[in-house]
Amino acid sequence: MSSVQIRDVRKSFGNFEVLHGVTIPIEDGQFVVLVGPSGCGKSTLLRMLAGLENITSGTISIGDRVVNNVQPKERDIAMVFQNYALYPHMTVAENMGFSLKLRNASADEINKRVKRAAEILALSPLLDRYPRQLSGGQRQRVAMGRAIVRDPQVFLFDEPLSNLDAKLRVAMRTEIKELHQRLKTTTVYVTHDQIEAMTMADKIVVMHDGIVEQMGTPLELYDKPDNQFVAGFIGSPAMNFLKGHVRVNGVATFEGPNGVKLPLKTAPAGSDGRPAVYGVRPEHFTIADDGAEAEIIVVEPTGSETQVFAKVGGEQVVAVFRERHQFNPGDKVRLKPDPSLVHLFDDATGKRMNA
């Protein structure tokens, strides 16, 4: 186990720069998730960490050692690939023991460590099978087994769950998290799925267009997104955004589309009349007499909660209620955002305005 430091790392393919100076400190034993839309550079960064891509500038260190010019096999890392990359001509046991075999470990040693890893991952009955004879979830576990057999400094995961069906994905998510809690190996995990990021990470790094938008614990990112991108990316259903202006005359309010008045707890100093984006999470709406007028479009009950799509000032918003309101499409209701939980972003830069 060891810490990882990524300092001002850049990556160019020819003249095209895909990473514009990324700095990420990763503590020993931390589970860090790199999340972002496709093309944001997260996988490239992971491959640079693994040594499969060169580092154009900046440094990456594992432990105290700068690994920019260290061969992948010398970095003491293990990676789980999106397509698992299992060797088709080797059995499960041979797949898992391959790295040890290359290091000239004794047959006893290989056997012992493969067996231990197989027990951890419940693969013991499958050790003599070939990858073709395994289900998706089993292949996924073999890929993880191959990583843990080596007992590396750092685990790297490159979208490991995206080839699985939805139900299995949820189960494997828990399994990976449990594995990390047991082994406590520093882990860097790449995904484009914000739910995976939220549920698994100690620390989430949100990336977008080759830069880090924000880093923090899942709840920090959820409660206090630094900018509109992070606010919209984290959370499902996504945060509602309404464009308008801040108004301060006695009491701070937000004038939304078509003059809709929305409550603000406080307005940032000197923001009167500034164009801004009002962000409110779906679950932070309540039904209240002093709320903004809304017309219900669609009601989607999921059992535990109900998603309600409605029009506020002509813009569609989504609200989530745990209570079972009796709504019908076309109903007029009054939706009130909780002013202490709303987010305010600068319209031009997307930066967070309120504290």
Examine residue 62 and tell whether it contacts other proteins (CB under 8 A): no
Q: Which C-beta is closer to other proteins: that of 73 or that of 182?
A: 73
Instruction: Work out how close the CB of 31 gets to other proteins at its nearest, in angstroms, rounded to a whole number.
Output: 20
Examine residue 52 and tell whether it contacts other proteins (CB under 8 A): yes
Examine residue 88 and tell whether it contacts other proteins (CB under 8 A): yes
Piece in contact with other proteins (CB under 8 A), picked from 26-34, 74-82, 221-229, 243-251? 74-82
Binding test (CB under 8 A) with other proteins, winner from 89, 112, 182, 324: 89
Examine residue 165 and tell whether it contacts other proteins (CB under 8 A): no
Q: What is the residue whose two structure tokens read 């589970």?
A: 31
Q: Which C-beta is closer to other proteins: that of 153 or that of 253?
A: 153
Examine residue 78 and tell whether it contacts other proteins (CB under 8 A): yes
Do β-strands 306-312 and 275-280 pair in parallel, antiparallel, or remain unpaired? unpaired
Cα–Cα distance measured from residue 337 to residue 241, given in angstroms and rounded to the nearest whole number: 12
Binding test (CB under 8 A) with other proteins, winner from 85, 287, 288, 297: 85
Binding test (CB under 8 A) with other proteins, winner from 23, 39, 54, 103: 103
Q: Which C-beta is closer to other proteins: that of 126 or that of 312?
A: 126
**Which amino acid belongs to residue 21?**
G
Examine residue 160 and tell whether it contacts other proteins (CB under 8 A): no
Instruction: Work out how close the CB of 72 gets to other proteins at its nearest, in angstroms, rounded to a whole number.
Output: 5
CA distances from 294 to 70, 102, 323, 337 (A): 60, 66, 18, 12
Instruction: Work out how close the CB of 86 gets to other proteins at its nearest, in angstroms, rounded to a whole number.
Output: 8
Q: Classify the C-alpha dihedral 20-25-29-31 as positive or negative.
A: negative
Examine residue 77 and tell whether it contacts other proteins (CB under 8 A): yes
Cα–Cα distance measured from residue 146 to residue 150, given in angstroms and rounded to the nearest whole number: 7
Binding test (CB under 8 A) with other proteins, winner from 9, 60, 79, 292: 79
Instruction: Work out how close the CB of 107 gets to other proteins at its nearest, in angstroms, rounded to a whole number.
Output: 16
Examine residue 145 and tell whether it contacts other proteins (CB under 8 A): no
Piece in contact with other proteins (CB under 8 A), picked from 44-52, 177-185, 290-298, 315-323? 44-52
Instruction: Work out how close the CB of 118 gets to other proteins at its nearest, in angstroms, rounded to a whole number.
Output: 17
Examine residue 105 and tell whether it contacts other proteins (CB under 8 A): no
User: What HEC string does the chain produce?
Assistant: CCCEEEEEEEEEECCEEEEEEEEEEECCCCEEEEECCCCCCHHHHHHHHHCCCCCCEEEEEECCEECCCCCHHHCCEEEECCCCCCCCCCCHHHHHHHHHHHCCCCHHHHHHHHHHHHHHCCCHHHCCCCHHHCCHHHHHHHHHHHHHHCCCCEEEEECCCCCCCHHHHHHHHHHHHHHHHHHCCEEEEEECCHHHHHHHCCEEEEEECCEEEEEECHHHHHHCCCEHHHHHHCCCCCCEEEEEEEEEECEEEEECHHHCEEECCCCCCCCCCCEEEEEECHHHEEEEEEEEEEEEEEEEECCCCEEEEEEECCEEEEEEECCCCCCCCCCEEEEEECHHHCEEEECCCCEECCC
Examine residue 133 and tell whether it contacts other proteins (CB under 8 A): yes
Closest CA to 188 of 205, 172, 175, 174: 205
Examine residue 131 and tell whether it contacts other proteins (CB under 8 A): yes
Q: Which C-beta is closer to other proteins: that of 11 or that of 203?
A: 11
Examine residue 146 and tell whether it contacts other proteins (CB under 8 A): yes
Instruction: Work out how close the CB of 79 gets to other proteins at its nearest, in angstroms, rounded to a whole number.
Output: 5
Examine residue 210 and tell whether it contacts other proteins (CB under 8 A): no
Piece in contact with other proteins (CB under 8 A), picked from 34-42, 125-133, 159-167, 285-293? 125-133
Contact residues toward other proteins (CB under 8 A) are: 50-52, 72-73, 77-79, 81, 83, 85, 87-90, 98-99, 102-103, 130-133, 146, 150
